[in-house]
Chains A and B, each alone.
Chain A
Amino acid sequence: DQQVKQNSPSLSVQEGRISILNCDYTNSMFDYFLWYKKYPAEGPTFLISISSIKDKNEDGRFTVFLNKSAKHLSLHIVPSQPGDSAVYFCAASGETGTASKLTFGTGTRLQVTL
């Protein structure tokens, strides 16, 4: 069972526009959510996170929104830049209450075009 889902395998956005990446989860025990960015042949790079007690967290061009009732989160990138082209993974933690493993989605490939 896929507890964290990213239903859009790919997204193409023009440079300067907003990129919106979506993520849904099914396990109500998750209490912390993270976004990672991955370039080919590299490990995932931490981008931004949000606790379940908040509904928004902002860091520069990146904002994460959490809707607990809908079990949905999204990552907004404004403005999008060509260097943002990568695969973005949503991850969730807290399932066991010990903040051990992260459960990842399958990723969304973002392409920012000129």
Chain B
Amino acid sequence: DTGVSQDPRHKITKRGQNVTFRCDPISEHNRLYWYRQTLGQGPEFLTYFQNEAQLEKSRLLSDRFSAERPKGSFSTLEIQRTEQGDSAMYLCASSLGSSGRAYYEQYFGPGTRLTVT
């Protein structure tokens, strides 16, 4: 049973460039989440999908950010016109979305560390 995977693990980009991250959830999980974590803080929710439907977005997700999950499997998070304030760890998580504990428990990938210079 493979866990959540994310690619790339590290990305360095120049301000103003676009970047795209990929997340592959645990195969039977139908819920997929994106979070952002900055130094000294806990992860902050960005958005989540149930299958291919994007059901909730945080106000942190400005119009420069877009996320997709086209076939209900992997997901991509794109940041356009990156700014230095976008530098953070971007974490993806998935959950089974069924009843009981599985409804709540989210399993995280290793994250993509973005540095905007």
Listed in ascending order, the chain A residues whose CB lies under 8 Å from chain B are 4, 32, 34, 36, 41-46, 49, 89, 91, 93-94, 96, 98-107
**Is there contact, CB below 8 Å, between A44 and B48?**
no
Q: Identify the closest chain A residue to B100 (Cβ).
A: A51
Q: Take A43-B91, A46-B107 as given contacts and tell me if A102 and B45 are in contact as well, using a CB distance cutoff of 8 Å.
A: yes
**Chain B hits for A46, CB < 8 A:** 105-108
Interface set, chain B 79-117, CB cutoff 8 A to A: 91, 93, 101, 103-111, 113
Chain A to chain B contacts (Cβ below 8 Å), 19 pairs: A4-B42, A32-B104, A34-B106, A41-B113, A43-B4, A43-B93, A43-B108, A43-B109, A43-B110, A43-B111, A49-B101, A91-B42, A99-B103, A100-B33, A101-B48, A102-B45, A102-B93, A104-B42, A107-B41
For B106, give its contact among A42, A98, A102 (CB under 8 Å): A102
Q: How many residues in B have their beta carbons less than 8 Å from beta carbons of A?
A: 27
7 extra interchain contacts, Cβ-Cβ under 8 A, other than A43-B93, A89-B43?
A44-B43, A49-B105, A89-B42, A100-B48, A102-B35, A104-B42, A105-B42
Q: Give the CA-CA distance A106 to B43 in the complex, in Å.
A: 8
CB distance from A19 to the nearest CB of B (A): 19
**Chain A hits for B107, CB < 8 A:** 46
Which one of A36, A49, A98, A102 has the greatest number of beta carbons of chain B within 10 Å? A102
Chain B 1-12, CB-CB to A under 8 Å as 1, else 0, gives 000101000000
Q: Give the CA-CA distance A100 to B106 in the complex, in Å.
A: 10
**Is there contact, CB below 8 Å, between B45 and A101?**
yes
B58 within 8 A of A: yes
